[in-house]
Every structure is written in C-alpha cells, then in structure tokens.
Amino acid sequence: MPRMHPRIVQVAVPRPLHSVYDYQVPAPLPMPAVGARVRVPFNRGSTVGVCTAHLHSSAHKSLKDVAEVLDGQPLLPPDLVQLAHWMTDYYHHPLGEVLATLLPAAARKGAPGNLDEPDWWTTSVPAFDNKRATAQRALFDYLQANQPCAAEQLTAAGHKRAALRALAKAGAVERCEPDLRGGGEVPPEPSAAQATAIQAVITKLDAFNVQLLEGVTGSGKTEVYLRVMEPVLDQGGQVLVLVPEIALTPQTLQRFQQRYGGVGMLHSNLSDHERLQTWLKAAAGKLRVIVGTRSAIFTPFRKLGLIVVDEEHDSSYKQQDGLRYSARDLAAKRAQQLNLPVVLGSATPSLESLYNVNRGRYAKLSLPHRAAGARMPTYHLIDMRGQAHTDGVAVALEHVIRRHLDARGQVLLFLNRRGFAPALLCAACGWQALCSDCDAKLTLHRKPAALVCHHCGLRFPIPDQCEHCGSSSLLPVGMGTQRTEAAVQRLFKDLPVYRIDRDSTRSNRALEQRFAQINTGEPAIMVGTQMLAKGHHFPNVTLVAILNADAGFCSPDFRAPERTAQLITQVAGRAGRAERPGEVWIQTYQPDNPLLQCLMQAGYPGFAELELQQRIAVGLPPAKPMALIRAESANGTEAVNLLQQFKQQLRGLELLGPVAAPIARVANRQRYQLMLVADSRPHLHQHLARLQPPRLPRSLRWSIDVDPYDSL
C-alpha cells in the first residue's frame, strides 16, 4: 500500500534513463510550484532539478527531503513544461535532461532567477554644473538629450561606467523603466507580392497556423516579417524570431531594433548571466522581440503572439548532439500549443516544409522577384575536364573574374573546405597522412602550418618525409580556402583578397569588421565557406563562383542533393542584389550530372519538387518518418551487439543496419548505427517507446536521433 502523504513532489533531475524521482518537502519549506527549481540530494551529492508534479502518494517507502526551493515563481511556465513532456515522448529522451536543455546554463546550475535592476537611466535634476567633472557633465548632457537611455548606449557613445556611477551617487541621474518604443525608421513601401504575403499572415494572427514564405534571395522577406510583427506588438504581444547561427550578427539585430524597440538577442556568445537575464526579461514582458538562434525556441514569454523562423531549411536549427531536437519543428509545436501563428521563411525551403504545403498543412506565400527592382543572377557552367587551372581556378573563370573587377564589381568565390588542401599524399608510394585517432585524412593547413583532423581536432606537425617509404615528395592534394586565397592573390596581385572561414574569423566581431571592409564597395575578392552563404547582403558583389559543385551531389546521404541545391542557390543569391545584375559561374567535372542540370534548368523550386517526388517514391522522409540509433564503444563489438539487440526489439519496422558510420572511428571510438523507417509517426513512436536497453558497460554510448538531419 502506498502511504498517504500530502507534501510529496515529483522532481526531474538531469540524469539519463530514470530521471524522475519522488521527494518529500519538509515543513519549513514552501511547496514548489510545477516548473520551479529545487535542490535535491542525489546519489551521494546534490543536484538541481525541476518540480514536475505534486503527488498525493508515493510508491516508495522512505523519501528523501527536498533541500531547497530555488524559485518562488516557477522559472518554467506551464507551456514550457508541457513542451518538455511532449519532447520527452517525441525524442525519446529523459524528462530531466529535456528540462535541463530548456533552462539557460546559469539556471541549470542553480543561479537565482531574479531580474537585475533595469540598466536604463534618466536625469533626476534639471542641470548638472560641476565644472571640474567634465566626463560626468558630458554624460549628463548626453543623457538629457537622449533619455531614457540604456547603459549600453551610453558606453557605446563613449561614456564611462564610472561617470554614470558618480552621477548616480550624486543624485543627478537615476534608473528608470526601459523604453520599448521603436527607432522610428521609415520603412520601404511593400511591393505587391510583399503586400499580399503580409495581408495573408495578418488575417490569420489569432490562431495556430503555419505559413511558408518562399521568397527568392533578396526578395525582402525580412520586410514581411517586420510588417506582420507590427499588429502583434501593437496589441501588447511578443514575437520570437529564430535565425540561423551564422546569420545572427549585429547587422541582423539592427534591422529589428531600428524598427521596434525592446529587442533582445539570444545567441551562443552571451555570458551565462546575460543569457539568463534576457530570458527573464522576456518572461516578464520587458522585451517585446527576441531574436535568437536554435535554443531561443525555449524562451519563456509573457504573451507570445507570433513565431518567425528565418531560413527555415538551415541545418543549425537541428541540435546535433545530446537532445537532438529541431527548433523549426518545435516552433510549429509550440505555436500549436499556444494557438498562435508561425511564419517559416526561406529562398530554398526544406522538403519537409514543402511536403507539408503539398498536404495542405501549411499555406504557401511567394515572393518570386527581388525587391527594389534587382534582377536574379544568370547561371553558367564551366566544364573542368581538360581545363587549365591555377590551383583549382580555371583560366576561363580567371577571365570572368577580371572582367567583373575591371567593371568595379566585387567577386565571391565559394569553396566548402577550409584549410590549404584536404589531403597530403606521397608522390612516390601513394601514402596519405591519416589521423592517429580517426579513420580520416588529415587536412593540410598553412599559417599556422599543421596537419589538422577536422573530425577530432587533433593537430600534427607536417612531416618532411613519407612515413611509409621515406620519399620527400609530399603533395598537397585538392583545394581548401587557404590554397584558393593564395592562388587568387597571385593572379590578382594588387587587389584585396579576404578569406572568410572558421579559421580566419573566429569571432562575430571579426566577421563584422570583414563585412564592413567589404561593404565599402571597392573591388575585392572574397574566398569563403558557407559562412558567406547565409543571409548576408553584399550590394557590390556581381560575380559568384562555386569552385567545386560536385562533392555534394556525389555523397550517398539521401539529403545531400537537397542540401547541395540549397547551398548553391543561397551562395548564388549573394550575386547582384543591388542595381548591378549578377552572374553565377559553377566549376564542375560532371557538367551532365542530372541533379546539377535539373537545378540549372528548373531552379530550386523545380529541383525540390522532383526530389520530393523521388523521396515519396522510395519511401524516405518526409514521406515516411525516420530515426537513427547510434552507438559507439572503444572496440565496436559492444556497440554492434547493442544495436543487434535493438534490432530484435524493433521488428516490424523497416531496419537498415547495424552498419559502421562512414567514418567508423573518431577519437578512437568505433561508431555504428541502425536506421529505422516506419509507415507512420505513431508506428515509429510505439516501437521506440518499447526499446529496452540492457545493462550497459560504462564505455558504451548510444543515442536516438528522431528525424535525423545527417543520416550517415
């Protein structure tokens, strides 16, 4: 018989497998609300968990006591607790870990959930005339002309925090409520297509619905987002705007901030404290708009009225480790739970979203033309077979580059490989430099010179001799951005060449500085990876060249064609975004590749339609739901055995595997996977819910990836 006890709570703790436990709340402590954090004893230590239910009784005889209740008000509002439960079922991930993923890191570690005093200031006396305190006087005068004013704005204008403190101490200035009014920017007049899209969204603001805004690159999707936000904000509602990781730059933020006040930003470069504060401000309604990357989907709001997902096809919306959620899919789920609208925008929508349009679940809106009269670029192929080239830049392309530079245009060269060369090969015996810990070739880097493993991050000195035969003729094979940069600099001696990849621009600030240099508009060449492809606006780029289009179309991953077509279209979309028309040149060794031909002739929409029909025909996502179970262990045997056991338990589904991952060994662990395809979602989830993992050796790790983005 369970014994009756009125002060029992269920607490989810961040542990794998069994993550929900019953605890007793001792008399002096208040009962924690559902969604509040509690500190509880766990194993031999203690941990921060979240109260998930009040219980009338427990099946357990002796319950441990809650040690501390951390939140008077629940930090997680009911809608997020509800979302966490849904995620637990959908992603087959323990509730405690789901809740821990939702919380900002500071909150997870037990930091108090109190809002700092607002860092906004006004003057509190009519004048400040201390002749000697010039810094203070200057700040006072600035504030008087610009009040109320955020402390960040004061420091951005060159004033010192110390002067502000001194003025506050003297009683000349005081804190005030933040000003959430807009910046008063005059918006452009929407085009006819924009107006139609705006109208379509605005008429459906009061209930759940998803609209896919398919707008070609440079068509003014952001203007549509800004316009549909207005009525939501006017009614006191809040808006969540999700953007891809690379696109969240001060430039992006500014576009929202200039139109509306009260914009907060959530991205991975914030300190834990800043992140928690922005989170709390959104929950308290002290911010009106949150612009953020993937995990911003978990922001609590006082009155959320609309969710926008920009570049909805972007891979950064899918978390690739731990709890492998899709922020885009969660946006739709959260909107459904809260009964509010979602706008998904992209020039190259995912097949998932297009499938939902075809089935009538999403409505589609189109912006078929570029804004403000800019034309779409023209496409040209360069057949690389038998072409002379300089380190991968064809002579024919060199001429085109020169023509554009002579016409004072800027040039963007795209190559999806960082480093100097993707392999180092012995010309005498064919030996290749491999990683000691992975089954992978090492990439040759220059400045700093090293062989780098792009899978585990290990670095090795560059050998003088072949390890196998001792020959000293070691050849860098293939192209990386560093090699292209060097080649282009040799070909165009007097022109600035900017390389933009993860090695050259590690911080957002460095990236901003680069973009500022580029947007002075002088003729220049940019060489870069997909960091250049996403959402950026370079008005003076008239030529985009894709140096190696083939790799993506040759990958066995079933999503590779879709991804490659998206990438080519997005990169191409950087060309000719302003007055001057753009050209796109694509180097290929397979000019007749049917996928490439289809993209050239039918454009992304035609390509996507055909690719979707293929997926439906062979029964792959989005037509059928998929999951991937990955397992890894030191020698691989345990991983394979586990997946074999799962395979038995999952009979009734279409199963592929266990097979070794394409790069089987990474960081000295052998990786295997089992792919599952089901006829329907319920079918998939019934089976996954039945999985019974046996007792596992410590060294074995495994995970379930529902709707995997990478299937290899």
Q: Which residues bind ligand ADP (CB under 6 A)?
A: 188-191, 194, 215, 217-223, 371-372, 537
Q: Which is nearer to ligand ADP, 19 or 222 (CB)?
A: 222
Extract the runs of DSSP E, i.e. beta strands, from 516-612.
525-528, 541-546, 583-588
Q: How far, in Å, are 121, 123, 146, 151, 703 from residue 133 at the CA level?
A: 19, 16, 20, 19, 62
148 touches 178 (CB < 8 A): yes
User: Least separation, in Å, of the C-beta of 365 and ligand ADP?
Assistant: 12
Structure tokens at 389: 């080239």
In a 3-state reduction of DSSP, which class is residue 88? helix
Q: Which is nearer to ligand ADP, 97 or 312 (CB)?
A: 312
Structure tokens at 108: 């997870």
Q: Which is nearer to ligand ADP, 372 or 427 (CB)?
A: 372
Amino acid letter, residue 94: P
User: Least separation, in Å, of the C-beta of 400 and ligand ADP?
Assistant: 24
User: Least separation, in Å, of the C-beta of 372 and ligand ADP?
Assistant: 4
Q: Which is nearer to ligand ADP, 376 or 598 (CB)?
A: 376
Q: Which is nearer to ligand ADP, 350 or 504 (CB)?
A: 350
**Cα separation of 546 and 586, whole Å?**
5
In the list Zn ion, ligand ADP, none, the entry touching 429 (Cβ below 5 to 8 angstroms by class) is Zn ion
Q: Which is nearer to ligand ADP, 227 or 267 (CB)?
A: 227
In a 3-state reduction of DSSP, which class is residue 39? strand
241 touches 259 (CB < 8 A): no
In the list Zn ion, ligand ADP, none, the entry touching 190 (Cβ below 5 to 8 angstroms by class) is ligand ADP
Q: Which is nearer to Zn ion, 368 or 430 (CB)?
A: 430
CB atoms under 10 Å from CB of 458, counted, come to: 16
DSSP-assigned letter for residue 285: T
In the list Zn ion, ligand ADP, none, the entry touching 273 (Cβ below 5 to 8 angstroms by class) is none
User: Least separation, in Å, of the C-beta of 373 and ligand ADP?
Assistant: 8
- The stretches of 359-479 forming alpha helices (DSSP H) are 395-406
User: Least separation, in Å, of the C-beta of 670 and Zn ion?
Assistant: 13
Provide the Cα torsion 368, 370, 375, 381; round to 10°.
-70
Residue with tokens 């906004």: 120
Provide the Cα torsion 349, 353, 355, 359; round to 10°.
-130
Which residue minimizes CB distance to ligand ADP?
A: 220
In the list ligand ADP, Zn ion, none, the entry touching 191 (Cβ below 5 to 8 angstroms by class) is ligand ADP
651 touches 657 (CB < 8 A): no
In the list ligand ADP, Zn ion, none, the entry touching 608 (Cβ below 5 to 8 angstroms by class) is none
In the list ligand ADP, Zn ion, none, the entry touching 570 (Cβ below 5 to 8 angstroms by class) is none
DSSP-assigned letter for residue 431: -
Structure tokens at 418: 């960082």
DSSP-assigned letter for residue 326: B
Structure tokens at 444: 């040759």
In the list ligand ADP, Zn ion, none, the entry touching 438 (Cβ below 5 to 8 angstroms by class) is Zn ion
User: Least separation, in Å, of the C-beta of 190 and ligand ADP?
Assistant: 5
Amino acid letter, residue 507: S
User: Least separation, in Å, of the C-beta of 512 and ligand ADP?
Assistant: 17
**Cα separation of 322 and 668, whole Å?**
20
Q: Which is nearer to ligand ADP, 159 or 259 (CB)?
A: 259
Residue 116 forms beta bridges with which residues?
none
In the list Zn ion, ligand ADP, none, the entry touching 188 (Cβ below 5 to 8 angstroms by class) is ligand ADP
User: Least separation, in Å, of the C-beta of 59 and ligand ADP?
Assistant: 55
In the list Zn ion, ligand ADP, none, the entry touching 372 (Cβ below 5 to 8 angstroms by class) is ligand ADP
In the list Zn ion, ligand ADP, none, the entry touching 426 (Cβ below 5 to 8 angstroms by class) is Zn ion
User: Least separation, in Å, of the C-beta of 25 and ligand ADP?
Assistant: 51
User: Least separation, in Å, of the C-beta of 374 and ligand ADP?
Assistant: 7
**Cα separation of 175 and 123, whole Å?**
9
In the list ligand ADP, Zn ion, none, the entry touching 481 (Cβ below 5 to 8 angstroms by class) is none
User: Least separation, in Å, of the C-beta of 247 and ligand ADP?
Assistant: 10
DSSP-assigned letter for residue 421: B
In the list Zn ion, ligand ADP, none, the entry touching 468 (Cβ below 5 to 8 angstroms by class) is Zn ion
211 touches 346 (CB < 8 A): no
Structure tokens at 41: 């004893």
Residue 456 phi, psi (nearest 5): -115, -5
Amino acid letter, residue 102: L
Q: Which is nearer to Zn ion, 151 or 456 (CB)?
A: 456
349 touches 214 (CB < 8 A): yes
User: Least separation, in Å, of the C-beta of 589 and ligand ADP?
Assistant: 31
**Cα separation of 696 and 699, whole Å?**
8
Q: Which is nearer to ligand ADP, 35 or 218 (CB)?
A: 218
Q: Which is nearer to ligand ADP, 96 or 215 (CB)?
A: 215
Residues lying near Zn ion in the complex (CB under 5 A): 426, 428-429, 431, 435, 437-438, 453, 455-456, 458, 466, 468-469, 471
Strand order in the sheet with 669-677: 654-666, 669-677, 626-633, 701-706
Q: Which is nearer to ligand ADP, 371 or 433 (CB)?
A: 371
User: Least separation, in Å, of the C-beta of 191 and ligand ADP?
Assistant: 5
- The stretches of 11-133 forming alpha helices (DSSP H) are 78-91, 95-102, 105-108
Residue with tokens 């045997």: 637
Q: Which is nearer to ligand ADP, 220 or 478 (CB)?
A: 220
In the list Zn ion, ligand ADP, none, the entry touching 537 (Cβ below 5 to 8 angstroms by class) is ligand ADP
